Amino acid sequence: MRLFSALIPIVILTTCAGVGQAQTPPDPAARIAEQKAAMKALAWMDGVWRGPAVATGAGGRKIELTQTERSGPLLDGVLHVVEGRGYNADGTTGFNAFGVISYDPAKGYSMRSYAMGQAGDFPMTLTPTGAVWTIPAGPATLRYTITAQNGVWHEVGERVVEGQPPTPFFEMTLKRIGDSAWPSAGAIEPS
């Protein structure tokens, strides 16, 4: 009888746990709709962009590039992807980066970025004229500020240390040169 009495709580807990696990997950439609609506604010980025960029390298050396960006929605508008490519004067690639921008209703916007052998998830805030995202870098923060107006994408990268004025290390001014079906074009058909 003692064994039976000891097993009753275990049976009850196991049964309750099984019922909880068997519940249907919530319908994702509302969350997806909220994500799509939020991502529409980035529609200005869609297309192909090109223009001059200047970065500050080691020892203050100026690096001049022709910067290109291609950008568009993916997963039916739930994500936004961006590829940046900077070309040296001889046409070789001097810089290449890839970003995936997403929206979490509980946390806001973020960018998953891949560049220069590094990757990370970084907070992003939309502004009335563009966006700002930040990357922690030891005692500093790298802050990228985009201003987008009249078909021009202007972006400035600054190193920010508390109590000091921001130090610019990157600037690009791109013009929108056209539409692009990237990245959604070329999907594999069912048959």
Question: Per-residue pLDDT for 4 more than 70?
Answer: no
Cα–Cα distances in angstroms (integers) from residue 121 to residues 106, 124, 150, in the given order: 16, 10, 29
> With contact defined as beta carbons under 8 Å apart, do 68 and 52 qualify?
no
pTM as predicted: 0.83
Residue reference for tokens 């001059």: 52
Looking at every residue in the chain, the average pLDDT score rounds to 89
pLDDT 10s digits, 111-162: 999 999 999 999 999 999 999 999 999 999 999 999 999 999 999 999 999 9
pLDDT 10s digits, 87-110: 999 999 999 999 999 999 999 999
